Amino acid sequence: VKTGDASAAGTELGPIIDRANQQRLVGIIDRAASEANMVVHGGVGEGELATGYFITPSMFEIDDVQHDLVQDELFGPIVSLERFGDEAEALAMANATRYGLAASVYTSDLNRSMRM
């Protein structure tokens, strides 16, 4: 994901609204790194991204659907991945969130994706 000036061509992810939210997201990333498998390590932008309120994307593999990364809307570039065994388990996991947050199913089986 190309992170940078939101008005620049090719940018896919602009800055966070302010420093307080940047630091809040860094805290979430740091805590989650000790509790979950970090697949992509993001955080405060470096280089030319160090001058703004940039957060580069993070991705975590989560086993516990009660984890804050699954249950809370984070308002930042942090994604949780949850593996499932069968469709019933996947639907139960998606329905186990407090707020009905968004969920996506990635599969090579088109019929499965349409059913779900």
pLDDT tens, N- to C-terminus, the chain (116 residues): 899 999 999 999 999 999 999 999 999 999 999 988 888 888 888 888 888 999 999 999 998 888 988 899 899 999 999 988 899 998 898 888 888 777 888 889 999 888 88
Same domain, 77 and 105: no
Same domain, 106 and 72: no
Domain that holds residue 95: 84-116
Instruction: Tell me, yes or no, if the pTM score tops 0.85.
Output: no
Residue 3 phi, psi (nearest 5): -100, 135
Same domain, 91 and 46: no
Name the domain count of the chain: 2
Integer Cα distance of 25 and 34 in angstroms: 15
Q: Which of 5, 39, 44 is nearest to 25 (CA)?
A: 44
- Dihedral sign, CA of 6, 48, 77, 2? positive
Same domain, 106 and 55: no
Instruction: Evaluate whether 29 touches 16 at the Cβ level (below 8 Å).
Output: no
Same domain, 28 and 74: yes
What is residue 93's DSSP assignment? H
Same domain, 72 and 97: no
